[in-house]
A and B are shown apart, each in its own frame.
Chain A
Amino acid sequence: MRLPVHSSLLALALTASAVAMPGAASATDIQMWVRASGATAAQFMIDLWNASHDDKVVATVIPDNQMVTKLATGSQAGDVPDMVSFDLIYMPDFMKAGFLKDITDEMKKDPNYAGVAQAYKDIATYDGKIYGAGFTPDVSVLLWNKDLFKAAGLDPDKAPATLQEIHEDAKKITALGNDTYGYYFSGSCPGCNIFVTSPMMVAAGSKLLPTKAGDDALTGDGVKDVLTEMKAMWDEKLIPDSAQADTGANFFATFETGKIGIQGTGGFAISALKHDKPDMNFGIGFIPGTKAGEASAFVGGDVIAIPAASKHADLALQFIHWELTDEAQLEGLAKNSIIPSRPALADNKYFKDEPRVVTTAQALGKGFTPYALHFNDMVNSDSSPWIQMLQTAIFDGDVDGAIKTAQDAMKAIAAQ
């Protein structure tokens, strides 16, 4: 068979891959999986480590919503990396499944581990054993546009202290007209809302997810108060129509247009906004509850852990010990405007000129991370009880029915 196209394609492919193959490494490569969202932050740490160590860390970026599948199938097939950085929320599922290596003794001996934010320690502990450590934190905060605040006659340096204040401010900002809206949230994005909307509920006294079978879900008045207030903002058209369909694609881009007054976001927004919109004046504060003084945050980001079948667990452990040191926390994270996972390091030379990052670092201490099995099922999946509740309550207006349905659905999932 003579088909020139095949042979030339093949030749092209072979050359391309031959060029790309790195030469054999003299020291050991430490293979690491990193979820895409955390890749930029992780890369700062990896570069810093690689600059001073012979055994290099090699990162493989896994798309966010595929990380669990990858780690689960890899674990069953015995084909896993040496360490992995993933969304901390999946720790309980993975620890229970036995995918991760018990590193209790090593962490207890490490003086730096004691200083890691409590939320990370809690989420990485199962049955009294430790399976991981905080790696690249991301904490939710409230973001507001100071220019719009000024234009609307509000104090640009004062963060709204309650959800009701957000509502009042949003009215004034929307009244500016010209497609300006007071508030924004991604109405079809379960993950975005557990990140920025759930802290309001928790601040107002609610507990969200059942930790074990039999526990109640979505307890307390916070859930209802927050949903009622958001529904009112939606009804009064203080939130753009497009919010309802946003699956997260515009979670960040919308605020960048300069036409949104207030929105919940993550600490990452500070450096991203400074890069994309150097002229924009924005403030960062805590996510409030319904009464003055209430505040909370979702402590998110990535934890680092070692798969049970890791081939270089010793090297991976070295890396974990290293990433908790002052040097790594300051030069790898703080220097790049990322908050350290040890709250005591919030006060450092890199954050001196940027009080907004200090606010974020303080939010880490006020925050929570829900400890739940089946988190995907309850919260993160498309059409989860969590997102259905938000949509039914805010957009369809049935607050009580929405909460009841979600409570039952979450209880049923927890009982599995």
Chain B
Amino acid sequence: MNLGRRNLLGLAYMAPALLFVAVFVLYPFGQLIYTSFTDASLLGGGKWVGAANYVRIFTGDPQFWKALWFTLKYTVIITPVLMGLGYALALLTAQNDRVLQFARGVIFMPVVIGLGTSSLLWFWLFDQQVGLFDKALVDLHIANSMIVWFTNADWALWAVIISVTWKVVGFGMILFVAAIQSISREVVEASQIDGAGYWQRVSMIYAPLTLRTVLLVTLISAIGSMLAFEQLYIMTGGGPRGLTFTSVYWIYQSAFIKFQLGYGSALAIVLTAIITIAAAIQIFLTSRSAPQ
């Protein structure tokens, strides 16, 4: 087959998806960019205002930067929690033993539940009046009385982290299990014959040979955390004192609640740019650190 034809053929397979993304993502994204240069409101308007919205982001909206900072904090805390716990669970359940396989299935189960649903579930469990998580802490003598989670930004953050960890830790675990199981038996056996202990094997064999998967899952997880919205919207409502707004939540707030469509669009563009740059940096570092 000549090269030109193979080019075309490859393109032909990709064409439907490309067309779809062009029409339903790129075109609206173009509209979003256009809107970001107007004073459009949900209630009407839409005059061209040049870069005024962008100027406002960088000079007149401290709340957005606070929200971005909070989002970063959330991402920086939850990512290692998810990766560490996920990896630990993967090590625990990687063997194809019946009990362990069952545990793997159960731990993955919340992944198939919607984020909105799981957030509501935990919103209830954490409720200071009817919440059973709080009650269990009291009954186990871990807490003296029903904890009020959402009056303190740090506690609220941890409540969200606990709920999200429950919901998604299985996703990383399954991928790590896969990575561990794909290590060839010979390599593992050779190390055992050489007398390497379990933890030595973890650090000398599993860790380096699963690094690529770990980095990839970290990237997916970090991007997801940077776009966090529903869990905060449902569980904290941005409170207390507006300290738990995430970037996307603030965009939603600006466009849908304050009706400032133009400004909200500009915020969305800025956030997209930030995430794209961060992801590019991470991909760049990943490809250098794990040449495979």
- Hey, which chain A residues are within 8 Å of B256, CB to CB? 69
The answer to whether A382 and B238 touch (CB under 8 A), given A241-B128, A244-B148, is yes
- Hey, which chain A residues are within 8 Å of B245, CB to CB? 382-383
The reply to whether B42 and A69 form a contact with Cβ atoms under 8 Å apart is: yes
Q: Does B127 contact A (CB under 8 A)?
A: yes
- Hey, which chain B residues are within 8 Å of A206, CB to CB? none
- Hey, which chain A residues are within 8 Å of B242, CB to CB? 382-383, 388
The reply to whether A249 and B44 form a contact with Cβ atoms under 8 Å apart is: no
Distance in angstroms from A276 CB to nearest chain B CB is 14
- Hey, which chain B residues are within 8 Å of A391, CB to CB? 240-241
With the chains together, A255 CA to B44 CA distance in Å? 42
Question: What DSSP secondary structure best describes chain B's contact surface?
Answer: loop
Q: Does A97 contact B (CB under 8 A)?
A: yes
With the chains together, A378 CA to B150 CA distance in Å? 22
Q: Does A98 contact B (CB under 8 A)?
A: yes
Interface centre among B63, B240, B253 (most CB of A within 10 A): B240
The reply to whether A72 and B259 form a contact with Cβ atoms under 8 Å apart is: yes
The reply to whether B259 and A376 form a contact with Cβ atoms under 8 Å apart is: yes
Q: Does B117 contact A (CB under 8 A)?
A: no
- Hey, which chain A residues are within 8 Å of B151, CB to CB? 241, 244-245, 395
The reply to whether A97 and B129 form a contact with Cβ atoms under 8 Å apart is: no
The reply to whether A376 and B257 form a contact with Cβ atoms under 8 Å apart is: yes
Q: Does A242 contact B (CB under 8 A)?
A: yes
- Hey, which chain A residues are within 8 Å of B149, CB to CB? 245
With the chains together, A377 CA to B43 CA distance in Å? 14
With the chains together, A73 CA to B253 CA distance in Å? 15
Q: Does A273 contact B (CB under 8 A)?
A: no
Q: Does B84 contact A (CB under 8 A)?
A: no
Chain B interface residue number, banded = 20 to 34
A171-221: which residues lie under 8 A (CB-CB) from chain B?
188
With the chains together, A324 CA to B56 CA distance in Å? 47
- Hey, which chain A residues are within 8 Å of B239, CB to CB? 188, 245, 247, 382-383
- Hey, which chain B residues are within 8 Å of A73, CB to CB? 42
Instruction: Give A350-392 as 1s and 0s: 1 = Cβ < 8 Å from B's Cβ atoms.
Output: 0000000000000000000000001011001111000010011
In the complex, the chain A residue whose C-beta lies closest to that of B128 is A242
> Once A and B bind, how many residue pairs between them come within 8 Å at the CB atom?
81
A74-115: which residues lie under 8 A (CB-CB) from chain B?
76, 93-94, 96-99
With the chains together, A96 CA to B41 CA distance in Å? 13
The reply to whether A388 and B253 form a contact with Cβ atoms under 8 Å apart is: no
Interface size on A, residues (CB 8 A): 34
Interface centre among A69, A257, A374 (most CB of B within 10 A): A69
- Hey, which chain A residues are within 8 Å of B257, CB to CB? 65, 376-377, 380-382
Interface centre among A97, A242, A250 (most CB of B within 10 A): A242
With the chains together, A382 CA to B242 CA distance in Å? 7
Partner of A188, one of B43, B123, B237, B258: B237
With the chains together, A374 CA to B258 CA distance in Å? 7
The reply to whether B238 and A245 form a contact with Cβ atoms under 8 Å apart is: no
Instruction: Give B3-45 as 1s and 0s: 1 = Cβ < 8 Å from A's Cβ atoms.
Output: 0000000000000000000000000000000000000001110
Q: Does B196 contact A (CB under 8 A)?
A: no
With the chains together, A97 CA to B237 CA distance in Å? 28
In the complex, the chain B residue whose C-beta lies closest to that of A257 is B129
Q: Does B178 contact A (CB under 8 A)?
A: no
The reply to whether B253 and A382 form a contact with Cβ atoms under 8 Å apart is: yes
Q: Does A68 contact B (CB under 8 A)?
A: yes
- Hey, which chain A residues are within 8 Å of B258, CB to CB? 374, 376-377, 381
Instruction: Give B210-254 as 1s and 0s: 1 = Cβ < 8 Å from A's Cβ atoms.
Output: 000000000000000000000000000111111001000000010
Distance in angstroms from A415 CB to nearest chain B CB is 14
In the complex, the chain B residue whose C-beta lies closest to that of A374 is B258
In the complex, the chain B residue whose C-beta lies closest to that of A392 is B241
Distance in angstroms from B79 CB to nearest chain A CB is 26
- Hey, which chain A residues are within 8 Å of B130, CB to CB? 250, 253
With the chains together, A391 CA to B240 CA distance in Å? 9
Q: Does B146 contact A (CB under 8 A)?
A: yes
- Hey, which chain A residues are within 8 Å of B44, CB to CB? 76, 97-98
In the complex, the chain A residue whose C-beta lies closest to that of B131 is A242
With the chains together, A395 CA to B240 CA distance in Å? 11
The answer to whether A68 and B42 touch (CB under 8 A), given A188-B150, A253-B129, A382-B253, is yes
- Hey, which chain B residues are within 8 Å of A250, CB to CB? 127, 129-130
In the complex, the chain A residue whose C-beta lies closest to that of B124 is A249
Name 18 interchain pairs, CB-CB below 8 A, sorted by A: A68-B42, A72-B259, A93-B259, A241-B151, A242-B128, A244-B151, A245-B151, A249-B123, A376-B257, A376-B259, A377-B257, A380-B257, A381-B253, A381-B257, A382-B237, A382-B253, A382-B257, A383-B239
A242-B129, A253-B129 given; 18 more Cβ-contact pairs under 8 Å: A94-B43, A98-B44, A99-B43, A188-B237, A241-B148, A244-B151, A247-B239, A250-B127, A257-B129, A376-B257, A376-B258, A376-B259, A377-B257, A381-B253, A382-B237, A382-B245, A388-B242, A395-B151
- CB within 8 Å of A: which residues of B? 42-44, 63, 123, 127-130, 146, 148-151, 237-242, 245, 253, 256-259
Task: Rank and list the top 6 A-B pairs by shortest CB-CB distance, nearest first.
Answer: A383-B242, A97-B43, A72-B42, A242-B128, A382-B238, A245-B150
- CB within 8 Å of B: which residues of A? 65, 68-69, 72-73, 76, 93-94, 96-99, 188, 241-242, 244-245, 247, 249-250, 253-254, 257, 374, 376-377, 380-383, 388, 391-392, 395
